[in-house]
Structure 1
Amino acid sequence: MATTHEIRVERREDEGKGASRRLRRAGKTPAIVYGGDLKPVNIQLDHEPLWVASQNEWFYSSILDLSLGGDIQKVLLRDIQRHPYKQLIMHLDFQRVNEKETLRTAVPLHFLGEDTSPAGKSVEVVVLHELNEVVVECLPKDLPEFIEVDLSALELGATVHLSDLKLPEGVEIPELKLGKEHDVAVVVARHARVEAAEETAEGDEAGADVPASKVAKDDEK
């Protein structure tokens, strides 16, 4: 079952950059909710509780209950704009969710048991996380906040693919419907010496791309 979280919002009447700046000075964050059979609605949120919510993983991957004066609309966060250096959320986009329609969204992966696995306990093995999230399809009621990846039996040379993930009932990975070539690696356990050798080779290739004249000039500096 999907877990939902309530976010309180207010309707926003004023539009434009000037109105948004005034809102932010007042400790509010402008946002919009769209989708479904209803028209887009401009809303605003109190920034402080919004900032606290944004520090949680569920804020980005769970169905949220937008509460507007007691009217609840189920939504997913689709876009978040942040200030380049201040701890400030500038704008949010929310998309309405139809509980009877399949949705597609990214869900984070939680890796379990890596430290106690044969690969994790060996200093000669590097465990690479090729993916940290995966796009899934499901009904809103089935949307998980995350998907667990059990690595407790991971050994040197092993690869965990998308098809190896244990998905909750009603949840699918659309990428797997496109063919075997789309069954990409999620986790790879490689020998540390192989990984180091490949990194060295990549560095040599990058150096080979630098013209000799450029190297000579750099040496003269």
Structure 2
Amino acid sequence: MKFVAFERSKQGTGASRRLRNSGRTPGIVYGSTSAPQLIELDHNALWHALKKEAFHASILDMEFNGQSSKVLLRDYQMHPYKQLVQHIDFQRVDANTTLHMKVPLHFSGEEESEAVKTDKCLINHVVTEIEVACLPANLPEFIAVDLKGLTKGVSLHLNDITLPAGCKAITHGKKNPVLVSVVAPVEEVVVAPVAAPAADAKGKGKGKK
């Protein structure tokens, strides 16, 4: 994805507020051997870009002062209740430096699995993204996970999927985390009604004469 950034000459709370009032969003680009660069972006274009998954999980082409450079979205701040992006941070990308990025998982095929079709199990996506380490050229936009092989009582773990070439999963101490769990359907238990005690032949319970 591509976006255009403009040089921001003023900084400070007042300058940022005036910038937002004019339909711009203040930001910064940092990293590599260059000094941090203050930038501003068109807010409407940025708002629509942030709705796209690729803007969060892929290397972006930033056009700045007539030149293009590779960056990653690292952080952004939203207004507490307005649909307003208050600030955004980008990191420069070095082709030879390993990145640590969270990549979304795209699940498919669960409706065709034995767990769903035959056993009517519920499929729970425990994890929707994983962190990977890779060079910028190997960063995937997403990782496809085929769930056609799911069976009752068997969860899908990280080691069960194939990562894109050049990518290594970062699990922060968890050896083989669960990605998808298969939950068996709850069986209905039918409780028989309790019969009322029958009165004895002598009419027990009636008043004495």
Considering the TM-score relative to the shorter chain, is it more than 0.5? yes
Tell me the C-alpha RMSD between the 2 structures. 1.7
Q: Which residue of structure 1 aligns with residue 62 of structure 2?
A: 66
Are the counterparts in 2 of residues 124 and 193 from structure 1 also a CA contact under 8 Å?
no
Q: Measure the CA separation in 1 of the matches of 2:104 and 2:135.
A: 17
Q: Which residue of structure 2 aligns with residue 57 of structure 1?
A: 53
- 2:140 aligned to 122, 129, 144, which one? 144
Q: Measure the CA separation in 2 of the matches of 1:122 and 1:33.
A: 52
Are the counterparts in 2 of residues 32 and 93 from structure 1 also a CA contact under 8 Å?
yes
Stretches of structure 2 that go unaligned for 5 or more consecutive residues are 188-209
Quick check: 1:79 aligned with 2:72? no
| One-letter identity of the residue aligned with 1:50 | L
Are the counterparts in 1 of residues 171 and 177 from structure 2 also a CA contact under 8 Å?
no
Quick check: 1:95 aligned with 2:91? yes
Q: How does 1:163-202 map to 2 (within 5 A)?
A: 163-175=159-171, 181-193=174-186
| One-letter identity of the residue aligned with 1:184 | P
For these two proteins, the number of residue pairs brought into alignment is 188
Higher helix proportion, which one?
A: 1
Question: 1:122, CA displacement in angstroms?
Answer: 5.2
Q: Measure the CA separation in 2 of the matches of 1:16 and 1:164.
A: 50
- 2:14 aligned to 13, 18, 21, which one? 18
Q: Measure the CA separation in 1 of the matches of 2:23 and 2:118.
A: 50
Q: Measure the CA separation in 1 of the matches of 2:185 and 2:26.
A: 48
Q: Measure the CA separation in 1 of the matches of 2:29 and 2:177.
A: 34
TM-score (norm 2): 0.85
Are the counterparts in 2 of residues 28 and 45 from structure 1 also a CA contact under 8 Å?
yes
Runs of 4+ in 1 over 4 A off after TM superposition: none
- Which has the larger Rg? 2
Q: Which residue of structure 2 aligns with residue 105 of structure 1?
A: 101
Question: 1:123, CA displacement in angstroms?
Answer: 7.0
Are the counterparts in 1 of residues 119 and 152 from structure 2 also a CA contact under 8 Å?
no
Question: 1:95, CA displacement in angstroms?
Answer: 0.8
Q: Measure the CA separation in 1 of the matches of 2:104 and 2:15.
A: 35
| One-letter identity of the residue aligned with 2:48 | V
CA offsets per residue over residues 130-170 of structure 1, 9 Å max, x none? 10000001110110000011001211112111111211111
TM-score (norm 1): 0.81
Secondary structure of the structure 2 residue equivalent to 1:192: coil
Q: Measure the CA separation in 2 of the matches of 1:47 and 1:71.
A: 21
